[in-house]
């Protein structure tokens, strides 16, 4: 059974001032997990900047944040373009003066058998998930977080973490983000910057409904010990907590939010062997 995309029962763990005085930048903040994260950070006291390629969903997120009584800014940005990344950070600092939380949520992938993934397709996925994410992370760190000697940076990976059939290009890219989070913790902790990876499992979103059959969704649910896909706000609530002072001793690690799927393993019979006749 697939739950509503918002599973929240009108309770939110963090106080509404838990992140008071902070500024958050969320890439891919117009839809899905990015939108849910932007809203939960605002509920916890942050002012929020959302970035993405499409203006309309960003402005919808901003309007909803402002209804919560927090300031917000939409900056349409293609993070694959270094000049646009610099402009995004400049706009954020001009509006709010600092950046305390960076959520690298933007990404994209497509399903294909490994042998059919071309070099062009491979590079396209890695350019957005790894190269562009690094561009944003470095710009925010050098321009804002290192000078202010504080901050927390999030990277979004995948669960299960062992690889996902037909997504070898995307899972390898997200594995790089896990390593980036741990490596940066070794270097940037001296600046008071925490770096974390959050690995969601199967999350029910509008995009999932639009692109996958109910049969496919039921098959995924059968491999989740909790028996259902997650909701975007079940991921965003974890991010909001990890951004708060309550998690100030957590860095350099990956937090899995997947209903137990990573612990379960493959979850399905292996495909049959193919032999030449």
Integer CA distances (angstroms), 135 to 44, 59, 89, 132, 236, in order = 27, 24, 11, 5, 23
Nearest Cα neighbor of 245 from 101, 135, 146 is: 101
Q: How many CB atoms lie within 10 A of CB 199?
A: 23
Q: How far apart are CA 52 and CA 106, in angstroms?
A: 7
Higher-pLDDT residue of 4 and 244 is 244
Backbone angles phi, psi at 152, to 5 degrees: -140, 135
Higher-pLDDT residue of 166 and 258 is 258
Q: How far apart are CA 274 and CA 26, in angstroms?
A: 45
Q: How long, in residues, is the chain?
A: 277
- pTM of the model as a whole: 0.92
Q: How many CB atoms lie within 10 A of CB 3?
A: 12
Q: How many CB atoms lie within 10 A of CB 151?
A: 24
Asked if the model's pLDDT at residue 5 lies above 70, the reply is no
Mean pLDDT of 9-36: 90
- Weakest mean pLDDT among 113-117, 193-197, 251-255: 113-117
pLDDT of residue 20: 97
Burial 71-88 (b: 16+ CB within 10 A, else e): ebbbbbbebeeeebbeeb
Higher-pLDDT residue of 185 and 207 is 185
- Report the chain's mean pLDDT, rounded to a whole number: 91
Mean pLDDT of 170-176: 92
* Contact (Cβ atoms closer than 8 angstroms) between residue 55 and residue 109: no
pLDDT in tens, 51-100: 999 999 999 999 999 999 999 999 999 999 999 999 999 999 999 999 99
Tokens of 251: 């860095």
pLDDT in tens, 115-146: 998 999 989 999 999 999 999 999 999 999 99
Residue partners of 164: CB distance under 8 A and separation at least 6: 158, 170, 171
Asked if the model's pLDDT at residue 1 lies above 70, the reply is no
Highest average pLDDT, of 77-81, 160-164, 165-169, comes from: 77-81
Ordered structural domains, the chain, with CATH = 23-258 (3.40.50.720)
Q: How far apart are CA 202 and CA 235, in angstroms?
A: 11
* Contact (Cβ atoms closer than 8 angstroms) between residue 126 and residue 80: no
């Amino acid at each position: 059974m697939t739950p509503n995309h918002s599973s929240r029962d009108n309770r939110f763990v963090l106080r509404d001032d838990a992140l008071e005085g902070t500024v958050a930048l969320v890439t891919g903040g117009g839809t899905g997990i990015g939108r849910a994260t932007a809203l939960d950070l605002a509920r916890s006291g942050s002012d929020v900047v959302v970035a993405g390629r499409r203006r309309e969903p960003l402005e919808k997120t901003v309007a909803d944040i402002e209804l919560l009584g927090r300031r917000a800014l939409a900056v349409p940005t293609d993070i694959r373009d270094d000049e646009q990344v610099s402009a995004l950070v400049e706009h954020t600092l001009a509006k709010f003066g600092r950046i305390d939380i960076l959520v690298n949520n933007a990404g994209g992938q497509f399903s294909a058998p490994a042998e059919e993934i071309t070099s062009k397709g491979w590079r396209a996925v890695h350019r957005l998930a790894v190269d562009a994410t690094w561009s944003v992370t470095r710009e925010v760190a050098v321009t804002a977080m290192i000078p202010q000697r504080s901050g927390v940076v999030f990277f979004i990976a995948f669960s299960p973490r062992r690889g996902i059939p037909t997504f070898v290009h995307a899972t390898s890219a997200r594995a790089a983000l896990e390593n980036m989070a741990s490596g940066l913790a070794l270097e940037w902790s001296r600046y008071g910057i925490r770096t974390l990876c959050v690995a969601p499992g199967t999350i029910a979103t509008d995009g999932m409904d639009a692109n996958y059959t109910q049969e496919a969704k039921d098959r995924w649910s059968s491999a989740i010990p909790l028996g259902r896909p997650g909701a975007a706000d079940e991921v965003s609530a974890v991010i909001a907590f990890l951004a708060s002072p309550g998690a100030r001793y957590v860095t350099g690690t990956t937090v899995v939010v997947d209903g137990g799927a990573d612990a379960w393993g493959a979850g399905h019979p292996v495909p049959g062997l193919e032999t030449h006749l």
